[in-house]
Each structure stands twice: as C-alpha cells, then as structure tokens.
C-alpha cells in the first residue's frame, strides 16, 4: 500500500433522507429503506453492489434486514458505533476505512428512528435495573437522585463553564437564534418559517437550569442514509464527489457517557480535542481552512467548548466568537446551516453529516460561498467522532 492515510481515499457519493417529523407514521425499517434506496439512486449505484453497512449501535434497524430487502449477496463489512449521538460521524469513518482497505467497495451508512413517536430519550425513565452490570452501576450514581435527563447532564457542565469563563444564558441563546434563522429558510426543517429572538429564548421555560426550553432540540422521527465508495470511482459517478479528508473517534481521560464530572476540569470536551487533533493531522488542514461547520447541537452549551477544541476560538473565548456573530448567517464560520438539530431535526447528528455533504456539493439551501472543507462533529459529552469533508 503506497498511501497509508485515510485522507482522500473514499468519498460520499450518494445522499438520501426521509422527511423529518414528530410522527413518521411508518416503521423505522421502512424509513431506513426509503433513505437507503434514495441514497443509492442519488449515487447511481445498484443496490446489489452494496458490500458493507455501518450505523449506530442504538439504531434498531439491523443491517442484515436492509441487506435482505436490498437483495445484497456479498456483504463483507458491517459495524455499529456505540454511545448514541457520539456515533454520528463514525459510520462514515468506518465506511471509509473499509473502502480504503478494499474490504468493501460500496458501503451504506444510515440512521433511522422513530425516536419521537415510538420512544423518547428525554423522559427520565430508562428502566435501569439493580443488577451489577456496568451500565446499571454507572447510572446508579445519578438516577436515584432524579438526575436523569440528557438536558440535566449537559446543564451540569454548562453551569461550571459559565462560572469559569463568564459565558451567559444569552450566549447559549445566540446559538439557538442563529440556527433557527437558518432553519427558517430550510423547507426540510421542523422550524421552517419560524425564527426566534433572543428575548423569546430568554423567556422560554426552564428545562434544567441553566438550560431553557430553547436550548434543547426537539426529538424527531426520520432517516438519513449515505453511500461511500472509493474516491477513484467517485470521479465517474453522478454526483460531485464529497471526499472524506479526515475521520476520527475520541475517548480520553476520565471518559464517561454524559457524566464525565470527575476530571480535573469539566469546562472542555477533551474527547473532542482528540478528534480535532486527529482530523487536522489526517487532512493536513487547520481551522482556517474550514469554511462552514456542523457543530453537534442537541443542546446549545456544548457548542462553545467544541469551537474551542477545534481552535476556532481560544479556551473560554467562544462566547466572544458567538457575540460577534461569526457563527451566524454571513459570519466567518456559519455553523449548522441546515438549522442544526435545534432547528432542522434531531436525527442523532446524521442529518448534520448530510448538510456537510450538501455544502461541499454546493446544493445547500443556505449555501456558504466557496466551500472547500466542512467540519462535522458528533454527540458531545460522550465518546465521540468527527469528519472533515471536502472537495476533490
């Protein structure tokens, strides 16, 4: 092998999605199939050519059923990435690795969920039992106190971040306002035509102080799928190739799932720092080479330390970046131009990867001019992942 690096070896060549809603009215399997067939059609690749699959371990649609319905006969690679939304970017990375090593020539990645209408992550009731398996023991430190929602787990970090760096609820609100502005002009978004003001953000009710309602995304139904193949083949396909310039996962010291409260400092996201360092090393790019980014925004507060981990702002200074409006429409790094999970939909981050694909193709509804490279991040507070996608 002459090129051991992952960078530039594979490309996203097909993109498919269902509509996003609060009640899809059909099965998750059907959503997955609609998105997958849509993506293969977009790529101009026959379903029989699919040799691999990757998704989230929390996805409830198994790849073998998709393979069966597609009529695949030669599936040689399949993987699932754990830790909820932390998986958002990693399926593309795994697909790229499979393609780069020749293990599979065409890989489908997907996320399909009726997370809103069939089950919800934010209920506070998860049925952890008292048996000694690790997950029960781990959440046993939190559940008996009623400290049991993702919003609350994020809020604990946010409170300390605010205390340490002087960020305010208004700073979180400025993120929500900017992404809702993008959502307002995205017909695929929940909140199409429904921008908000900072005053509305501040007046919205408490969910878990210091988080207001408008700091939290809405839970959603929907599916997104993509097709990954070699960069070489991508040149001959229908769509403009979206090259995978970097793909990385990250776990670091003191890592837990949403509750890494026992590190010396809890104002950063050091696992995202691991991802950032690896993405920049693989791609040979730095923050200045990124024109737009999709920064995981299930809750607003974690957007700030992500901007810091990726070097768009110095430690503790993301609030100045936000107050200057650099993240908003027309800013120097518009983020979440689809409206983010706060504004478009919560498809566990894979709708963010889809937006990055559109930005590279030049087909986004809120297209940023001159896009060469787009950063995408996955779920925060958990073992996570990231991608840099770009033009050839």
Partner 1 sequence: MRETKLAEQDWMTEVRAMVGREYGRVYAWDEVNAPMIRQWCEIMGVENPLYTDATYAATTEFGAIVAPPAMLQAWCLEGLHPNNYPPGSTTENPYEVLRLMEGQGYQSVVAVNSDLTFERYVKVGEKLYYTTRLDAVGEQKTTALGTGYFVTLIMSFFSEKPNGGEGGQDDKVGELLFRVFKFRPANAQPAAEAPKGDAAPAVPKIKRPKPGISDDTRFFWEGAAAGKLLIQRCKCCGTLRHPPGPVCTKCHSFEWDTVESGGTGSIYSFVVMHYPEVPPFDYPNPVGLIELDEGVRLIAGLVGVKRNEITIGQRVQVEFQAFDDGELTLPLFRPVAP
**Catalytic center residues:** 296, 346
Q: Is 209 in the site for partner 1 (CB under 8 A)?
A: yes
Which two structure tokens, joined as six digits, stand for 384?
A: 């996570």
Query: Residue 374 CB, nearest distance to partner 1 (Å)?
Result: 33
Query: Residue 207 CB, nearest distance to partner 1 (Å)?
Result: 5
Number of neighbours of residue 122 by Cβ within 10 angstroms: 16
Report helix, strand or coil for 97: helix
Contact with partner 1 (CB under 8 A) among 43, 87, 112, 155: 155
Query: Residue 316 CB, nearest distance to partner 1 (Å)?
Result: 16
Q: Is 22 in the site for partner 1 (CB under 8 A)?
A: no
Q: Is 122 in the site for partner 1 (CB under 8 A)?
A: yes
Quick check: 47 and 35 in contact, CB under 8 A?
no
Contacts of 14 (CB under 8 A, 6+ apart): 39, 40, 41, 42, 43, 44, 45, 225, 226, 227, 239
N residues, the chain: 392
Q: Is 218 in the site for partner 1 (CB under 8 A)?
A: no
Scan residues 295-334 and list those touching partner 1 (CB under 8 A).
Answer: none
List residues bridging with 17 in a β-sheet. Answer: 224
Query: Residue 238 CB, nearest distance to partner 1 (Å)?
Result: 30
Sheet containing 107-114: order of strands? 77-81, 52-56, 107-114, 221-230, 10-17, 242-250, 384-390, 373-377, 292-294
Q: Is 204 in the site for partner 1 (CB under 8 A)?
A: no
Q: Is 146 in the site for partner 1 (CB under 8 A)?
A: yes
Q: Is 60 in the site for partner 1 (CB under 8 A)?
A: yes
Number of neighbours of residue 194 by Cβ within 10 angstroms: 12
Query: Residue 174 CB, nearest distance to partner 1 (Å)?
Result: 21
CA distance 251 to 331: 31
Scan residues 231-290 and list those touching partner 1 (CB under 8 A).
Answer: 259, 261-262, 266
Q: Is 370 in the site for partner 1 (CB under 8 A)?
A: no
Count of chain residues binding partner 1 (CB under 8 A): 53
Q: What are the backbone dihedrals phi and psi of residue 116, each rounded to the nearest 5 degrees, phi first?
A: -85, -45
Contact with partner 1 (CB under 8 A) among 73, 133, 187, 236: 133
Query: Residue 69 CB, nearest distance to partner 1 (Å)?
Result: 17
Region class of 138: left (phi > 0), else alpha (psi between -120 and 50), else beta: alpha
Q: Is 168 in the site for partner 1 (CB under 8 A)?
A: no
Q: Is 119 in the site for partner 1 (CB under 8 A)?
A: yes
Q: Is 192 in the site for partner 1 (CB under 8 A)?
A: no
Under DSSP, the state recorded for 370 is: T
Write out the residues near partner 1 by the rule CB under 8 A. 23, 25-27, 60, 114, 117-119, 122-125, 127-149, 152, 155-157, 159-160, 163, 205-210, 259, 261-262, 266
């Amino acid at each position: 092998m002459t090129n051991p690096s992952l960078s530039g070896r594979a490309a996203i060549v097909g993109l498919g999605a269902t509509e996003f809603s609060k009640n899809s009215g059909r099965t998750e399997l059907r959503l997955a199939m609609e998105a997958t067939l849509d993506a293969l059609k977009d790529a101009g690749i026959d379903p029989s050519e699919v040799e691999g699959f990757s998704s989230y371990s929390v996805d409830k649609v198994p790849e073998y059923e998709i393979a069966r319905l597609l009529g695949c006969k030669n599936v040689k690679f399949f993987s699932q990435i754990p830790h909820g939304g932390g998986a958002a970017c990693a399926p593309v990375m795994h697909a790229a690795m499979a393609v780069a090593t020749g293990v599979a020539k065409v890989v489908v990645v997907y996320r399909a969920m009726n997370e809103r209408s069939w089950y919800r992550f934010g209920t506070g009731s998860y049925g952890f039992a008292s048996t000694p398996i690790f997950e029960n023991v781990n959440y046993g430190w939190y559940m008996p106190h009623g400290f049991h929602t993702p919003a609350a787990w994020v809020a604990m970090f946010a409170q300390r971040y605010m205390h340490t760096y002087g960020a305010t609820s208004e700073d979180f609100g400025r993120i929500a306002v900017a992404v809702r502005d993008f959502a307002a002009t995205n017909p695929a978004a929940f909140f199409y035509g429904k921008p908000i003001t900072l005053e509305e953000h501040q007046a919205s009710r408490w969910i878990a102080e210091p988080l207001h309602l408008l700091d939290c995304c809405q839970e959603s139904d929907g599916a997104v799928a993509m097709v990954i193949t070699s960069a070489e083949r991508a040149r001959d396909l229908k769509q403009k190739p979206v090259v995978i310039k970097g793909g990385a996962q990250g776990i670091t010291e003191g890592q837990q799932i949403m509750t890494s409260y026992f590190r010396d400092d809890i104002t950063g996201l050091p696992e995202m720092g691991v991802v950032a360092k690896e993405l920049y090393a693989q791609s040979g790019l730095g923050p200045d080479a990124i024109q737009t980014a999709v920064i995981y925004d299930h809750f607003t507060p974690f957007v700030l330390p992500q901007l810091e981990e990726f070097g768009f702002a110095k430690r503790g200074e993301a609030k100045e970046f936000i107050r200057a409006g650099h993240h908003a429409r027309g800013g120097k790094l518009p983020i979440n131009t689809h409206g983010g999970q706060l504004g478009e939909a919560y498809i566990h981050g894979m709708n963010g990867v889809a937006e990055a694909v559109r930005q590279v193709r030049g087909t986004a509804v809120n297209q940023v001019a001159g896009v060469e490279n787009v950063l995408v991040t996955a779920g925060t507070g958990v073992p996570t992942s990231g991608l840099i996608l770009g033009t050839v």
